[in-house]
Structure 1
């Protein structure tokens, strides 16, 4: 009889444990579950003590880089002659040089990168181009969506490169230049091929 009582007590304990587990919302399974790696958090923010070293002849200019699938500005040194109101070609070349550079270690650790190709160049407009046109060595539409968004938004921060609210870009071919807008959607979804918004120039 004692063996029977012990077996009954053991069964009751097992049933109680199962009931307790069910009550806590725990579901048993014999299949291993892989929930994947924990989501990483990219700060997209540089340490406050991190200040880009620049010479007395340079000034800080905002440049748009890619971080966490968005466009975020960082300050980069450019010659003082490339600041707002400067010669458009001088400003365009200085900003292009900064936006196409591989981010330094501090920016990489914060999640920043650039999609602008290193070989891209900017040239003078043609005689029949609309005012404010900048000619790139590649057709703007041939750049990746992120690269074009980076360039347009970086140029849009410089008043010398904005004409009637847009950045006017052309390429080496015969296609007419077009005006590109940097909007909030451009910054939040630079990978979207529908941005930057495009304005036809007469």
Structure 2
């Protein structure tokens, strides 16, 4: 056999070998079961101030889920003659943010950065009527906790009619600032700081 014939034969054999190198599908059964599922974070409707039993009111608070802020429905108890008391309502909302999560909320991946020791008080003499002071300077809160508080206050009809700004400060001479609950804050509360401007 001449050299040309040998080369042709070698090329043909190589082609046959290469055609058998593909990975074929198998029929080996697996017993891992269905892929794991997880309850998704779901947004609920707007909160209302309609009275429920014994002075109970439906509200919404913002928790953290999949690194975003999402609302969950909660119930607070406020005396009928104090529904216009912003400080009382604010403290009730913060208490709900710091409330231990239910088993369903934990399973769905919800978390909160607001601690049980967080308190709120009203404005001092000469300060804007809508100002609220926390017992911790807002700058000392985690970005998640600050975003949760700002968006919960801004979203509540019992706290503000405009829903676009919340005036917060810390104790002592901590400056007051106006915070907004923007779409960027809701989407990335751990990265995007709550926009703030100093309030004189």
TM-score for the superposition, normalised by structure 1: 0.73
1:173 and 1:25 map into 2 onto residues whose CA distance is 72
Cα deviation, residue 201, structure 1: 1.2
Q: How many Å apart are 1:79 and its aligned residue?
A: 1.7
SS of corresponding position for 1:61: strand
Q: Do 1:139 and 1:173's aligned partners in 2 also have CA atoms closer than 8 Å?
A: no
Over 3 Å counting, the alpha-carbon distance change for 1:163 and 1:131 in structure 2 is farther
Mapped partners of 1:56, 1:21: distance in 2:
75
C-alpha deviations, 1:56-89, integer Å up to 9, x for none? 431210110000000000000012448x962101
- List runs of 5+ in structure 2 lacking aligned partners: 1-12, 26-34, 44-51
Match of 1:180 in 2: 179
- In 2, are the aligned partners of 1:156 and 1:162 still within 8 Å (CA)? yes
Residue 113 of structure 2 aligns with which residue? Answer: 115
Q: Which runs of 5+ in 1 are unaligned?
A: 1-11, 27-37, 47-53
Q: CA 1:176–1:42 in structure 2 vs 1: closer, same or farther (change >3 Å)?
A: same
**In structure 1, how many angstroms separate the alpha carbons of the residues matched to 2:137 and 2:119?**
11
> Could you tell me whether the CA contact under 8 Å between 1:132 and 1:163 is conserved in 2?
no
* Aligned 1:16-35 pairs, distance under 5 A: 16=16, 18-22=18-22
Q: Give the SS at the match of 2:110.
A: coil
For 1:198 and 1:147, locate their aligned partners in 2 and report how far apart those are by CA, in whole Å.
15
Write out per-residue CA displacement over residues 110-168 of structure 1, whole angstroms, 9 at most, x where no aligned residue: 11110111211111221122221111000011000000000000001123433863101
Cross-structure match for 1:133: 131
Over aligned residues, Cα RMSD in angstroms?
3.3
Normalised TM-score (structure 2): 0.73
CA drift of 1:43 comes to 1.1
Residue aligning to 1:104: 102
